[in-house]
Amino acid sequence: MNNIQYVAPQSIDEAVAAMAAANGTGRVLAGGTDLLIQMRAGVVSPGIIVDVKKIVEMTTIDETSGGYRIGAAVSGAVIGEHARLKKAWPGVVEAINLIGSKQIQGRASAGGNLCNASPAADSVPALVAAGAIVTVQGPKGRRDVPVEKIHAGPGRTTLQPGEIVVSFTLPARPAGSSDAYLRLIPRTEMDIAVVGCGVSLTIQNGTCTAARVGLGAVAPTVLLVEDAAKALAGSRLDDKALEAAAAACRAACKPINDKRGTIAYRTKIAGVLLKRAAGIAAERAGRK
Amino acid sequence: MTPPDAGARQNAAIDGDAAVRFIVNGRPAAVAASPLTRLAQVLRDDLGLTGTKIGCDAGDCGACTVLLDGRQVCACLTPMGQVEGRSVETVEGLRQDGTLSKLQQAFLAHGAAQCGICTPGMLMSASDLLRRTARPSRAEVLDAIGGTLCRCTGYQKIIDAVLAAATSAGVDSPPVGQAVGARAIRVDGIAKVAGTESYGADAIPHDALWLRVVRSPHAHARFALGDLEAVRRAHPGLEQILTARDVPFNGFGIYPDIKDQPVLADGIVRYRGEAVLALVGTREVVMRLADEVLPIVWTMLPPITGVDEARAPGAALVQDDRPGNLLMEGGVRCGDVEAALANAEAVAEIAVETPFVEHAYIEPEAGWARRVGDRLEIHVTTQTPYMDRDEVASVMRLKPQQVRIVPTACGGGFGGKLDLSVQPLVALAAWRLGRPVACIYTRPESMAATTKRHPARIQARFAATVGERLTACDVDAVFDTGAYASWGPTVANRVPVHAMGPYRVPNMRSRGAAYFTHNPPSGAFRGFGVPQAAIAHEAAMDALAEQLGVDRLEFRHRNALRVGDRTATGQVLHHSAGLAACLEALRPRWRDSLRHVAAFNAQARKAATHRRRGIGIGCMWYGIGNTSMSNPSTMRVGLGRDGTLTLYNGAVDIGQGSNTIMIQIAADALGLPMAQFRLVAGDTDRTADAGKTSASRQTFVSGKAAELAGADLRRQILRLANAGTNAALALDAAVLTVSDGETVRRIDLAALAADPDGNVLVGKGTFDPPTTPLDADGQGVPYATYAFAAQTAEVEVDLELGTTKVLRIVAAHDVGRAINPMQVEGQIEGGIAQGLGLALMEEYLPGRTENLHDYLIPTAGDMPLIETILIEDGEPLGPSGAKGVGEPGLVPTAPAILGAIAHATGVRLTRVPVLPHRLRAALQAKPGDRP
């Protein structure tokens, strides 16, 4: 049995160096709620664990000229207690706060949820809807990537060897904007989404001027549904526009049949959740 | 199939294990541990803080919840590298100077701990909340404890306790003569809330070897073993690899004549998860050794996956000597069913399908054994110490007296710990090696390897005629008993007796049959098949009421079995048949709810929303104790030379509270206060056989024995004092005072001769409920008494999503007499939670749901408000009139929920669980109005 190395660097540069030196056997440890279980199950056997919880940039939330920069390793509980962030991006925060139980919230991070690359990851559809930009650092330096470009398939990302997700940036947005995330599970809490839907929109004088829609658990990756956003934008979020957006969501679905839901069910529910999440986001944005 | 424990101690190999320094419960600690070692392991193994429990080791159950810098986290997912320099609080830190915190006291006072395995985690989750919010709302409590699973309580009493924590006061022990009927706190409660209770995994000797079972990844396969000795030599620390050849008698099973399950498979496996090899050695080595390293050559064979395949003509045999794959069948016949059906005014035809259901106790199987001379001593979590003793003796070819079972505290059973798990394996290894050997199942192992609720297919026809009287019942129930018999015969026998439901049905034909498949063995699970059968008879009652145009509750009330009625087995009920009283108690609330639901739905239709409400009702009856078989209990109460008063109680308390019940009963029978009793529980060397904790029998059967034992001791004392029957007793140290009117006699116990246990007087009681065998037509007296109950459920269905939220349940139960109303409520509330899970979410799929995030059980947030109404229609045979309530709480719940969904939506589902996608599909298939 190979020994597993553990390092807890203070800076991203050191973390990247450690990952690069690991030749692909490095794994980032933030809250560990996915990694430790995968190690125990023998699914992954890393050569080196890079604990990023001591890196300030990855464990803090900053306000940046109207927007927010959220360290990738900030726990869900800390995000949930950030009052201004919650006011600005209630959908993103509620999505992150749906990852696991209260106990998991004390540890799990949005960065980990993204990098685990589950199509059913709760935080990701909301971050996709929010237009979050992911800052990634690797041996070749930093780059910014739209969050929807990170997932490549179940358990796979587009991150290059040695790259680490550093933070998420949520943009500044005009007045009359808000977001919402809804997911369906058969019990009240702690389950993997059967379908998840995030909607972010801006409403001015009763008209939706901008919208983004993210869908989870209905395809191998979390989807950005641009046709749904188009159906909403420019409308007054009337029944016709909502149904057109729901139809776009249903059309985007390529789900699987499994014990949690059938293809037909997931497809139908994607449309239902779109309508409801859009309604909640619109209320939050101050419609009426 | 068990993965190597990559999280275990091998991570200690990192860089010489520098000490991790942190604060535990306010005190500094330094532990040499790898940064990746998990906090739960360090707390338990390095610091001896075993109050932190490991239920799943995967962040799904919350049993290991501790506070890290004041915030609740799962200790099983917290690596030590991230604990360095931080503050950890565990359940052991809640007591200050030996005094329980207000929260702990509230848990005791409200009966919030049953088995107690979730209690430490629950306390820590609640502490997190209460430190931020001293007087939280109910919603805040639900949010705070939502990540901590409890399988016993249904969460109601936990929620009550957290809400009351700020104001909680201690509860006085009931005075002499008033123990029966008192809401007495658990006699074993302090250890449970303090985190000091010792479960199967908590007191393993430091020098114990570890045993890991290698299990089949296949449902059906032959296998050949290669050179195991080479493997052993290649892995220093691996002492032995046990195979089928090493087992003296390689078969066990519940029934004396059916020992069909091998301890270790012999060349063939019949279900995924079956034990193949046992690795015995140091913990590090056996947990790290991957299955792939072992020379097992598999030849896959086609599995029989369900009863349809098992029953098909020419089907391959799961067990060679079981033609047609039939384990057994039972049935009841009376009257002329065909004639009654032909003359009926209304006939309901129902087809029910239920899946495997997992017990999901939060404590996985665990225990250890050691050899003491020519005897074996096994410390294990169990529901049935005497049966374990006899079974281990049979496997080991020892005399029963050579085996001692010492039950640890049991972290939940529900029937699942009535079968052997670790017992024969640790016994065999300890016997051969002469060293203590321990085994703890992992959560996936517990779920894959152990028994389940029998999947059922039930076809039922019920008929009624003029006057809304039930006239006929024709039920055919087929069960998937899995690869081995386990409790299959019990299910196949019990269901036909109960198949007509708690109603007068003059003409009945019922059949129950259990078939072998290559699925996990189905065993005992709260209700022994009756919960499945109740889904059928209650769907039929609703259908008949609808056809006849009568109210669903009133139709049941009209047909309810009453005193003087004859059951389908020909048994006349002479006493204690309180279903009508249960329904009468529910009637006003039922009528109110019908009005509320109608108003809500009218409003919802008007507003064109997608939410609809409905109310449903379920009734049940349940025979207490074994079916037509002797099942005696013996209890002893000893009065010691030093004045100690001891109940020798062989009835294992698996959380339901029998330790407390027995002392309440014995105290009043004897005439001394509960508080003076000491308990010796379960140990087969020290207590008499009180049978299994199953079939809702302990209060009725063992409770009666406790009553007789207390009365026997009292009789002996009165004789000694020459006092009359109304004399008052008082025990003060070694002086027993007997006051009979003017006469006061003091007995100096120290002056009397004592037996080897130190007792000068011992009262003994034995009770075996009177039953008779069933004849070929199923006629006879299968049970001495029956519990009755009716529950109503109010639900809200989201027609678009197909989701169901249960809003409220009212449960009326005829328990004969509630010895401890708080504990009775706890049983009912916990049963309702499991019934809700059966109705809405629980479905075990071998290989796909072997953990607590793919197999869902209800969380606090899933539970409705529950109101319990206790009906006390006394049973003269029982102690103070008591019957049993362990299983009855669960039986009517799923039928009531299914009825409520039908009322809300117009769609009757009889396949459970009603997952959202199934309800949605059924709604879409409904003719006419498509949501």
CATH code of the domain in which A245 resides: 3.30.390.50
Residue A127's SS3 state is helix
Q: Residue B72's closest chain A neighbor by CA?
A: A103
pLDDT at A231: 98
Query: Do β-strands B268-269 and B633-640 pair in parallel, antiparallel, or remain unpaired?
Result: unpaired
Helix or strand run (H / E) with residue B632: none
Nearest alpha-carbon partner for B866 in B155, B115, B109, B162: B155
CATH number attached to the domain at B573-626+776-925: 3.30.365.10
Assess whether A247 and A263 both reside in one domain.
yes
Q: If contacts are CB pairs under 8 Å, which of residues 798-817 in chain B contact chain A?
A: 800-803
B10 and A1 in contact by Cβ < 8 A? yes
| Contacting residues of B for A188, CB less than 8 Å apart | 146, 859-862
Please spell the DSSP secondary structure of B118-181, one letter per residue: SHHHHHHHHHHHHHH-SS--HHHHHHHHTTS--SSSTTHHHHHHHHHGGG----PPPPTT--TT
A194 and B917 in contact by Cβ < 8 A? yes
pLDDT greater than 70 at residue A1 = no
- The beta-carbon neighbor of B800 closest among A40, A101, A272 is A272
- B288 and chain A in contact, CB less than 8 A: yes
β-bridge mates for residue B464, sequence order: B346, B470
| Contacting residues of B for A5, CB less than 8 Å apart | 14-15
- B85 and chain A in contact, CB less than 8 A: no
- The CATH number given to whatever domain includes residue A105 is 3.30.465.10
| Contacting residues of B for A97, CB less than 8 Å apart | none
Q: What's the pLDDT tens digit per position in A155-211?
A: 999 999 999 999 999 999 999 999 999 999 989 888 899 999 999 999 999 999 999
Q: If contacts are CB pairs under 8 Å, which of residues 531-590 in chain B contact chain A?
A: none
A42 and B6 in contact by Cβ < 8 A? yes
- The beta-carbon neighbor of B856 closest among A36, A187, A262 is A187
| Contacting residues of B for A269, CB less than 8 Å apart | 801
Give the best residue of A103, A107, A260, A273 to mutate against chain B (max B CB count within 10 A).
Answer: A103
| Contacting residues of A for B62, CB less than 8 Å apart | 101, 103
Domain boundary among A150, A170, A190: A170
Assess whether A81 and A163 both reside in one domain.
yes
Q: If contacts are CB pairs under 8 Å, which of residues 142-171 in chain B contact chain A?
A: 143-144, 146-148
pLDDT at B7: 42
A259 and B843 in contact by Cβ < 8 A? yes
Residues of chain B with CATH 3.30.365.10: 209-302+360-449, 573-626+776-925, 633-767
Q: What's the pLDDT tens digit per position in A93-142?
A: 999 999 999 999 999 999 999 999 999 999 999 999 999 999 999 999 99
Assess whether A60 and A152 both reside in one domain.
yes
Assess whether A183 and A219 both reside in one domain.
yes
Confidence of residue A287 (pLDDT cuts 50, 70, 90): confident
Please spell the DSSP secondary structure of B482-531, one letter per residue: ESS-TTHHHHHHHHHHHTT-SB--SEEEEEEEEEE-SSPPB---TTTTHH
Assess whether A163 and A183 both reside in one domain.
no
φ and ψ at residue B16, rounded to 5 degrees? 70, 10
pLDDT at B14: 45
Residue A284 burial by Cβ neighbours in a 10 Å radius (0-12, 13-18, 19+) = middle
Q: If contacts are CB pairs under 8 Å, which of residues 667-686 in chain B contact chain A?
A: none
Q: What's the pLDDT tens digit per position in A16-75?
A: 999 999 988 999 999 999 999 999 888 898 999 999 999 999 999 999 888 999 999 999
Assess whether A96 and A158 both reside in one domain.
yes
Tokens of B17: 């294990």
Domain B633-767 in CATH 3.30.365.10? The answer is yes
Query: What is the residue range of A151's domain?
Result: 56-170
Domain B209-302+360-449 in CATH 3.20.20.70? The answer is no
- The CATH number given to whatever domain includes residue A34 is 3.30.43.10
Cis peptide before A220, with omega less than 30 degrees from 0? no
A4 and B921 in contact by Cβ < 8 A? no
By residue count, chain A amounts to 288
Q: What's the pLDDT tens digit per position in B483-519?
A: 999 999 999 999 999 999 999 999 999 999 999 999 9
Instruction: Give CA–CA dist B161/B356, Å, rounded.
Output: 33
Q: If contacts are CB pairs under 8 Å, which of residues 12-31 in chain B contact chain A?
A: 13-15
B9-93 folds as: Ubiquitin-like (UB roll) (3.10.20)
B859 and A188 in contact by Cβ < 8 A? yes
| Contacting residues of A for B288, CB less than 8 Å apart | 1
Q: Looking at the complex, report in whole angstroms how far the Cα of residue B281 sits from the nearest Cα belonging to chain A.
A: 17
Tokens of A52: 């990023």
Residues of chain B with CATH 3.10.20.30: 9-93
Q: If contacts are CB pairs under 8 Å, which of residues 832-871 in chain B contact chain A?
A: 840-841, 843, 845, 848-849, 853-854, 856, 858-862
| Contacting residues of A for B797, CB less than 8 Å apart | none
Assess whether A18 and A95 both reside in one domain.
no
Enter the ipTM.
0.96
| Contacting residues of A for B845, CB less than 8 Å apart | 259
Q: Give the sign of the dihedral formed by CA A24, CA A25, CA A29, CA A34.
A: positive
A184 and B68 in contact by Cβ < 8 A? no
Assess whether A203 and A267 both reside in one domain.
yes
Assess whether A252 and A221 both reside in one domain.
yes
Q: Looking at the complex, report in whole angstroms how far the Cα of residue B147 sits from the nearest Cα belonging to chain A.
A: 5
- B68 and chain A in contact, CB less than 8 A: yes
Give the best residue of B2, B71, B77, B138 to mutate against chain A (max A CB count within 10 A).
Answer: B77
Give the number of C-alpha atoms closer than 13 A to the C-alpha of residue A82, restricted to the C-beta side: 24
Q: Which residues of chain B have pLDDT under 70?
A: 1-17, 928-931
- B125 and chain A in contact, CB less than 8 A: yes
- The beta-carbon neighbor of B917 closest among A1, A101, A262 is A262
Assess whether A143 and A195 both reside in one domain.
no
- B58 and chain A in contact, CB less than 8 A: yes
Instruction: Give CA–CA dist B440/B258, Å, rounded.
Output: 27
> In A126-254, where do the E strands start and end?
133-138, 141-146, 151-153, 156-157, 164-170, 177-184, 195-204, 207-216, 223-224
Number of folded domains that form chain A: 3
Assess whether A259 and A221 both reside in one domain.
yes
For chain A, the straight-line distance linking the first and the last C-alpha, in angstroms and rounded, comes to: 64
Q: Looking at the complex, report in whole angstroms how far the Cα of residue B36 sits from the nearest Cα belonging to chain A.
A: 8
| Contacting residues of B for A28, CB less than 8 Å apart | none
> In B285-383, where do the E strands start and end?
296-300, 326-334, 346-354, 366-372, 375-380
| Contacting residues of A for B79, CB less than 8 Å apart | 29, 32, 36, 51
| Contacting residues of A for B920, CB less than 8 Å apart | 265, 268
Assess whether A256 and A243 both reside in one domain.
yes
- The beta-carbon neighbor of A6 closest among B81, B858, B917 is B81
| Contacting residues of B for A3, CB less than 8 Å apart | 13-14
Instruction: Give CA–CA dist B837/B862, Å, rounded.
Output: 9
- The beta-carbon neighbor of B72 closest among A41, A102, A264 is A102
pLDDT at B13: 41
Q: What is the DSSP letter of B434?
A: S
pLDDT at A227: 98
Q: Residue A1's closest chain B neighbor by CA?
A: B10
CATH number attached to the domain at B102-172: 1.10.150.120
